[in-house]
Amino acid sequence: MSEKLEQFKTLLTEVADLNAVQALLGWDQQTYMPQGGGEARGNQLATISKTAHQKLTSDEIGKLLGDLEKEFEGADPDSDEARLLDVTRYDYDQATRVPSDFVAEFAVVTSKAFEAWVEARGKSDFSIFQPHLEKVVELSQRYVSFFPPADHPYDVLLDQFERGMKTADVKAIFDALRPQQVELLKAIAEKPQVDDSFLHMEYDEKKMWDFSEVIATKFGYDWERGRQDKSAHPFTTNFSINDVRITTRFEDDSPTNMLFSTMHETGHALYELGCNQAYERSPLAGGTSLAVHESQSRMWENLVGRSQPFWEHFYPEFQRLFPAQVGNVDLSTFYKGINKVEPSLVRVNADEATYNMHIMLRLELEIGMVEGTIKVKDLPEIWSAKMDEYLGIVPPNDAKGVLQDVHWSGGTLGYFSTYALGNLISAQLWEKITADIPDLDEQFRKGEFGALLTWLREKVHVYGRKYAPQELVQRVTGSKIDSAPYVRYLQQKYSDIYGL
């Protein structure tokens, strides 16, 4: 290895360490930190992010990057070295455009915004969060201003999470998807509703927690390299390829959600845990994009965890644990119940057929905020109007409406559409997987998920950030992100359940 490359990699390990530390500060803030630590935590996050930013944008790294790009001209473009330069160039250009002071200010504002969001959500009072969100929007607009004019200012925000994706691309995909989802929802609404009353009874939290960990273990989650904790909003984070943690929550009114939340986060975690170990402490570690990440979490949650074969294996144990709730509910009824389609208020609890509608709503609000055509103070009202238009229901309060998601408090405008894109990718991958592993259902019925995990590791996980998202999807499935497989999947699944 050239001396310069070695030096370059060493410098990048420090950036990776600081990023990992920042993730730990966030994990602790959302799991165990006492309230009194909030102000100091904001300062710590600011100092670490500023320091990481300074290190990444140092003249030393900039010079080495330029020199190495010349040295590797003509080298195999698919080599790890070439891709390391490619990914670092992307990170470096993103970072050098943003001044260190801005990064530090952003960290302070979002740390306070998170605390305010927790309080606002607890009290169901948007006015507590409003001034913080206004600052976040203002900062997002300033962020955009650091970049060359794009086709749309929102492109700059989207690009942070989904390298190379344009607002117009997402709109086009959603425009193709929306009428088909609406048509499906109409067809379902005309059929008799399935029963899911048994999901909303009282369940023991400890038993549910333990069962969620049994499932995560069966999926292949390695507890020597991870753990599960509680937080207000479930998430996955990691401080190494070998320390990838998930969180979950228990909701009294929907106690079984914990299972699907754990499956979802386990999907994210398996992606990070499956990364090539050679990428540890380098920019090549991690998931390539949020949409691809979400394709993994949604696959394990929905395509696996809400499938009939999955429950053929797990249902007897579930019935044994909760005889009062589901002892007299047969598997077919249970399967229909966990796949009930019903317009609902909270995105993370939405079923597969309505989920994308929640995303489309948020995308429109974000674009409006960034353009300045939507004022933050009007969000609760617009939220209600859009919910009524898209799903025919209106939130009774802010907690179940505009305050339900943590994202904006973290300053991550541009993030939401990746959830819907993830759904689409999960179905694209699934068509390939079921072609490659014809007896997948049979394996699930036996509680075996190893072949699926191996496939995902080999085709997706191991590459980390080496391939850009669209490139990865193209390599694995033969086409770019496409809504058709997801529509086919929904149509088939709900035709069975609702007899369409």
Catalytically active residues are 265
Question: Nearest distance from residue 242's CB to its own copies, in Å?
Answer: 4
Beta-carbon contacts of residue 256 (< 8 Å; ≥ 6 apart): 199, 203, 208, 338
The strand pair at 236-240 and 243-248 is best described as: antiparallel
Contacting residue, 17, 80, 364, 482, with its own copies by CB under 8 A: 17
Contacting residue, 7, 9, 14, 276, with its own copies by CB under 8 A: 14
Stretch in the footprint of its own copies (CB under 8 A) among 13-21, 108-116, 145-153, 171-179 = 13-21
In the complex with its own copies, which residue's Cβ is closer, 5 or 33? Answer: 33
Question: Nearest distance from residue 394's CB to its own copies, in Å?
Answer: 36
Q: Which amino acid is at 134?
A: E
Copy the structure tokens of residue 363.
């995308």
Site string for its own copies, 19-58 (x = CB under 8 A): -xx--xx--x---xxxxxx-xxx-xx-xxx--x-------
Neighbours of 59 (CB within 10 A): 7
In the complex with its own copies, which residue's Cβ is closer, 34 or 478? Answer: 34
Tell which residue, 324, 220, 218, 209, has the closest CA to residue 257: 209
In the complex with its own copies, which residue's Cβ is closer, 48 or 64? Answer: 48
d(Cα 255, Cα 208) in Å, to the nearest integer? 8
Neighbours of 117 (CB within 10 A): 24
Question: Do the Cβ atoms of 491 and 184 come closer than 8 Å?
Answer: yes
In the complex with its own copies, which residue's Cβ is closer, 40 or 168? Answer: 40
Copy the structure tokens of residue 356.
């994308």
Question: Nearest distance from residue 32's CB to its own copies, in Å?
Answer: 6
Contacting residue, 53, 135, 281, 466, with its own copies by CB under 8 A: 281
Q: Is 400 exposed, middle or buried (0-12, 13-18, 19+ CB in 10 A)?
A: middle
In the complex with its own copies, which residue's Cβ is closer, 240 or 434? Answer: 240
Question: Nearest distance from residue 275's CB to its own copies, in Å?
Answer: 13
In the complex with its own copies, which residue's Cβ is closer, 47 or 384? Answer: 47
Residue count, binding to its own copies (CB under 8 A): 39
Question: Nearest distance from residue 174's CB to its own copies, in Å?
Answer: 39
In the complex with its own copies, which residue's Cβ is closer, 226 or 283? Answer: 226
Residues from 363 through 392 that contact its own copies (CB under 8 A): none
Residues from 230 through 259 that contact its own copies (CB under 8 A): 239-243, 245
d(Cα 431, Cα 435) in Å, to the nearest integer? 6
Question: Nearest distance from residue 36's CB to its own copies, in Å?
Answer: 3
Task: Extract long-range pairs of 119-123: CB within 8 Å, 24+ residues apart.
Answer: 120/398, 120/403, 121/232, 121/398, 121/399, 121/403, 121/404, 122/399
Please tell me whether residue 289 adopts helix, strand or coil conformation. Answer: coil
Residues from 201 through 230 that contact its own copies (CB under 8 A): 222-227, 229
Question: Nearest distance from residue 337's CB to its own copies, in Å?
Answer: 35
90 counts as binding its own copies under rule CB under 8 A: no
The secondary structure of 400-414 as a DSSP string is: TTTTS-SGGGGT-TT
Tell which residue, 449, 457, 448, 450, has the closest CA to residue 429: 457
Query: Which strands form 228-230's sheet, in the order they lie side by side?
Result: 228-230, 243-248, 236-240
End-to-end CA distance of the chain: 61
The secondary structure of 107-126 as a DSSP string is: HHHHHHHHHHHHHHHHHT-H
245: which strand partners?
237
In the complex with its own copies, which residue's Cβ is closer, 15 or 379? Answer: 15
Question: Nearest distance from residue 261's CB to its own copies, in Å?
Answer: 20
Residues from 164 through 193 that contact its own copies (CB under 8 A): none
d(Cα 354, Cα 196) in Å, to the nearest integer? 17
Which chain residues interact with its own copies by CB under 8 A? 13-14, 17-18, 20-21, 24-25, 28, 32-37, 39-41, 43-44, 46-48, 51, 222-227, 229, 239-243, 245, 280-281
